[in-house]
Amino acid sequence: MRQNVPGSLWKLGSLNHIAIAVPDLEKARSFYQDVLGARVSKTVLLPEHGVYTVFVDLGNTKLELLHPLGKNSPVAGFLERNKAGGMHHICVEVNDIKAAMEDLKKKKIRILSEEPKIGAHGKPVIFLHPKDCGGVLVELEEA
């Protein structure tokens, strides 16, 4: 169910995925595919975000397995602090990412980039600062 954000022109949509940073992408892929029997995508390289991604289809949502592409990847830093991996971010859909950005800036929510980037699904995405979101890195993706 989509909800209007009070006083805004954009709508919050469904949970798109939960991202998990993993130190060993093939081991994680094998766990979800071979042990749990989930449908797992091919590995996608996202140089703009500094990661390799694999999506695990759970029917009602997805898991995104993240592995760093080089030492400068934000996920590399996350894995340095969390050697076994762990939840990296959640992704929620919005109907209008530009309107969401405008509104969130007015509400003093920090956005980690000046403009949306193209995410793993080929759609515009932004990330919100975890300190403004209850300690959770939040990705918004235009649906």
pLDDT at position 5 over 80: no
> How would residue 9 be classed by pLDDT, with cut points 50, 70 and 90?
confident
What residue ranges define each of the domains in the chain, with the CATH number in brackets? 3-142 (3.10.180.10)
- Note the pLDDT tens digit of each residue in 27-86: 999 999 999 999 999 999 999 999 999 999 999 999 999 999 998 999 999 999 999 999
- Choice between 103 and 2, residue whose per-residue pLDDT is larger: 103
- pLDDT (0 to 100) of residue 17: 98
- Spatial distance between the Cα atoms of 25 and 98, rounded to a whole number of angstroms: 33
In this prediction, what percent of the chain has a pLDDT beyond 90? 91
Does the model's pTM come out above 0.85? Answer: yes
Q: What share of the chain is helix, strand, coil (3-state, %, to 5)?
A: 20, 40, 40
Please classify residue 35 by burial: count the beta carbons closer than 10 Å to its beta carbon, then call 0-12 exposed, 13-18 middle and 19+ buried.
exposed
Pairing state between β 124-128 and 117-118 = antiparallel
- pLDDT (0 to 100) of residue 94: 97
Q: Which residue has the tokens 């449908």?
A: 39
